[in-house]
Structure 1
Amino acid sequence: MKMSRNLSNQDVLFMLHEMKGIGWKTIDELWRSCEQLNELCHRDHPVWKQLKWSGDKKARIQQHLNERFLEERLRIYEQNEVEVLTYADERYPVRLKEMASPPWVLYMKGDSALLHGISLAIVGTRHPTAYGLQATEKLASACSRKGMTIVSGLASGIDAAAHAGGLKGIGKTIAVMGTGMDRIYPRQNQSLYQQIRQDGLVVTEVPFGTPVHPGLFPQRNRIIAGLSVGTLVVEAAEKSGSLITADYAMENARDVFAVPGSIFSKQSGGTHLLIQQGAKLVCSEADVLEEYLHIWKDRSSKHPTQSEPDEEAFTASSTKINDRSEKDLSEEEANVMEIMTYLGQASVDDLLEKSKFSFGHLQSVLLSLLMKKEIIQVPGSLYIVNQRE
């Protein structure tokens, strides 16, 4: 979001969100009462007479709706390399807009393109067993290798294991914080935060300067569920906060999955309760992935069709691939390399369109090429050929 003499709807939404004492419901009332939020900058606008608020509240908002306040607050985020995305922006995630109470502003560090992928939330107890940690990392890494982005809350325990597993695959991971970007919590996850910032995405709705408060974390959970097509719970007690995330998922018509545990383990009481209530029991990543095959097909069919390469250009790209030790590449790998060389850089959708492979088969080919260091994943969830000497 850039500075402009004429304040935009995005500018006003950002400023409202940055004001102390102005909450979600107040912004919602203004959003519903005024077709163009930037009109609120005019103190004589009719909406100010219609709203049944105290004079102090109106005066506080009107006092801060100006370029000076906007510039002061934006400078903080620019200096800390934090990207700001508002509900009024075109790039705002569609899945979050479908929620009953979407965040008005998101503050981000990392690859914001991950917001628009197919994401799976994985949450659970902060005090897991060795079994819970092992199951979490295995399922997270397996789903990430198939292209799903793993979303969790940067907490210790199951959340941390989910992020670690997500970073092992091409789907990467999104960490949703319950604090501002200036307050990493818990402190022991500082290094994990830095790794996710570098290779995934860190996001929060909490402005800079907001004190840590327990009430912020349940609110964070709705974003975890909202970004995801489904929520997988691994080891949660019957009164665990992770069940709040599952509740948000159900309220927003998203899928809920649960990993079974020992009947003697308190950490699995909540997950067993979810299974009894209808959550899908998960024993492997296949139990999750099979629910979303239709999404992969839909994404592939809706992706804009690029013009087919002419024979000369395609032959030229094939020659470059054939020079790269053919004996080390399978026919499918060579095919993907040819497409990638011609396009320069390619997304998963590009490769699905051109190769005609199934999603699962393409992901296995990409993983093999990554391990052979024939290709590189670059920001924006794109792939390029590794130009080795």
Structure 2
Amino acid sequence: MIENTYKENMNKNDFIKFLSAFELSQSKITKILNALNGEYSFEKFCFDDQVEKILGDDYTSISRKSNQKYFDAYLARLEEKDIKLLTCEDENYPEKFDKIEDKPYYIFYKGDISLLTMPSVGIVGTRSPSNYGCVVTERFAKDLANAGAVIISGLAYGVDSIAHRQALAVNGKTVAVLASGFDNVYPSEHHALFDEIAEKGLVISEHRPDVKSLKFNFIYRNRLVAALSDALLITEAGAKSGTTITKDFALDYGVPIYAVPGNITSSKSDGTNNLIATMQGICLINSENLISDLGLERKKTATMQLSINEQTVVDALSMAGCTIDELQENTKLPISKLNSLLTSLEIKGIIKRMPGGIFMLG
């Protein structure tokens, strides 16, 4: 059981924890704290006229729960679920949130909170990436995580989940920022991924565990992703992608933005190509530049020996991928030989066979 040494008066840290039980807006919490003027107690909270006006229709139900017994039970439920609660008064509260005008008064978390102090890259993008988008996201997430960067994303479909999984695949660290409470992981198909990140990295939310994901919550969540990132990398996004919101927050916070260029005929790359064209984003075609900008170094790995013909195939593969006919034309190798080489390179993990008969670097 979490100990509570106070009975009537409490410090600001504990009072904010008490307020977290009611999913109040940031503005209401600010008004309540100002109204109480440093006098934090259940009695003062229940009988203050200004607090009653601030809470409005919620006043009656909340005031009935304003007692030590309810608060103790609330903290006990969090502890049973292994959910930690951190307020802005705590020494472990992330300094990176200070750049947010309406920074959260508290966050719920599972995992290693110290990850929020480490060099980090937010990786975001479309929820329905192309083969190209999948491959470049995998490549950059692996490289950055291998170099020691913490990968920040939102557990969503597409680029988010790819970035999380690839960080974990190389035993790197990743942080998932949720738009819901921990009892309502969204999307539900990512519950296993949520559990793995909680065990090996960190999951955070500014919402009480039972809160479901609402449209506005996703927009609000994006400000946390941007603030926690030392750099924001957009690997693939259309012109009207929700990623634009995260990008705008990053611009407001002075977080450098990197964008991976895409095929100019693909609508899925309109957003990233426009970022580069308008000079809002730095064009990124290899991970070394971003790793260097973060002050990190790529870990040295053993170089895999390839035959001359295998290297010829690898050199012929563009980042966007090629069909076997395009590879045959580029390499001039017989189809039978090319098939054998492609199989060998797949086994070695150098290339991947994607839907539509496209081969891409792994």
Quick check: TM above 0.5? yes
- Deviations, residues 113-135 of structure 1 (Å, cap 9, x unaligned): 21211111000111001111111
Secondary structure of 1:207's partner? coil
TM-score (norm: length of structure 1): 0.70
CA distance, structure 1, for counterparts of residue 112 and residue 55 of structure 2:
42
CA distance, structure 1, for counterparts of residue 252 and residue 114 of structure 2:
26
1:364 aligns with 2:299: yes
1:264 aligns with 2:265: yes
Secondary structure of 1:107's partner? strand
Query: Any conservation in 2 of the 1:147–1:169 contact (CA below 8 Å)?
Result: no
Shift of 1:139: 0.5
Structure 2 letter corresponding to 1:29: K
Shift of 1:92: 0.4
Structure 2 letter corresponding to 1:228: S
Alignment map for 1:290-329 (pairs within 5 Å): 290-293=292-295
CA distance, structure 1, for counterparts of residue 5 and residue 180 of structure 2:
31
CA distance, structure 1, for counterparts of residue 28 and residue 111 of structure 2:
30
CA distance, structure 2, for counterparts of residue 46 and residue 195 of structure 1:
45
Q: Residue in 2 aligned with 1:380?
A: none
- Pair 1:42–1:242, CA change in 2 (3 A): same
Query: Any conservation in 2 of the 1:234–1:271 contact (CA below 8 Å)?
Result: yes
Shift of 1:43: 2.2
Secondary structure of 2:152's partner? strand
Shift of 1:187: 2.0
- Deviations, residues 57-108 of structure 1 (Å, cap 9, x unaligned): 5555544432222112212211111111111111000001221121222111
Q: Residue in 2 aligned with 1:3?
A: 3
- Deviations, residues 254-283 of structure 1 (Å, cap 9, x unaligned): 111111111111111111222223211111
CA distance, structure 1, for counterparts of residue 107 and residue 54 of structure 2:
27
Q: Residue in 2 aligned with 1:279?
A: 281
Q: Residue in 2 aligned with 1:12?
A: 15
- Pair 1:98–1:48, CA change in 2 (3 A): farther
Secondary structure of 2:232's partner? strand
Shift of 1:49: 4.7
Q: Identify which range, 194-203 or 283-292, moves more after superposition.
A: 283-292
Secondary structure of 1:84's partner? strand
Structure 1: tracts of 5 or more residues without a match: 294-358, 369-389
1:103 aligns with 2:104: yes
- Deviations, residues 171-197 of structure 1 (Å, cap 9, x unaligned): 410011111100121122122222212
TM-score (norm: length of structure 2): 0.75
Alignment map for 1:178-189 (pairs within 5 Å): 178-189=179-190
- Pair 1:169–1:114, CA change in 2 (3 A): farther
RMSD: 2.6
Q: Residue in 2 aligned with 1:163?
A: 164
Shift of 1:211: 2.7
Runs of at least 4 residues of structure 1 off by over 6 A?
Answer: 44-47
CA distance, structure 2, for counterparts of residue 58 and residue 95 of structure 1:
33
- Pair 1:292–1:212, CA change in 2 (3 A): closer
Structure 1 letter corresponding to 2:233: L
Q: State the number of aligned residues.
A: 298
Alignment map for 1:1-389 (pairs within 5 Å): 2-6=2-6, 7-20=10-23, 22-32=24-34, 34=36, 36=38, 39-43=40-44, 48-49=49-50, 53=54, 56=57, 61-169=62-170, 171-277=172-278, 278-293=280-295, 359-360=296-297, 364=299
CA distance, structure 1, for counterparts of residue 46 and residue 293 of structure 2:
50
Shift of 1:153: 0.5
- Pair 1:49–1:29, CA change in 2 (3 A): closer
Q: Identify which range, 162-171 or 22-31, moves more after superposition.
A: 162-171
Secondary structure of 2:258's partner? strand
Structure 2 letter corresponding to 1:222: R
Structure 2 letter corresponding to 1:290: S
Secondary structure of 1:138's partner? helix
CA distance, structure 2, for counterparts of residue 166 and residue 114 of structure 1:
13
Structure 2: tracts of 5 or more residues without a match: 303-362
CA distance, structure 1, for counterparts of residue 55 and residue 29 of structure 2:
15
Query: Any conservation in 2 of the 1:258–1:272 contact (CA below 8 Å)?
Result: yes
- Pair 1:56–1:177, CA change in 2 (3 A): closer
- Deviations, residues 202-238 of structure 1 (Å, cap 9, x unaligned): 1111112213322211111111111111211111111
CA distance, structure 2, for counterparts of residue 54 and residue 89 of structure 1:
26
CA distance, structure 2, for counterparts of residue 43 and residue 173 of structure 1:
42
Structure 1 letter corresponding to 2:27: K
Secondary structure of 1:43's partner? helix
Q: Identify which range, 6-15 or 90-99, moves more after superposition.
A: 6-15
- Pair 1:44–1:216, CA change in 2 (3 A): closer
Query: Any conservation in 1 of the 2:180–2:207 contact (CA below 8 Å)?
Result: yes
Secondary structure of 1:261's partner? coil
- Pair 1:54–1:104, CA change in 2 (3 A): closer
Query: Any conservation in 1 of the 2:31–2:54 contact (CA below 8 Å)?
Result: no
- Pair 1:134–1:44, CA change in 2 (3 A): closer
CA distance, structure 2, for counterparts of residue 137 and residue 167 of structure 1:
11
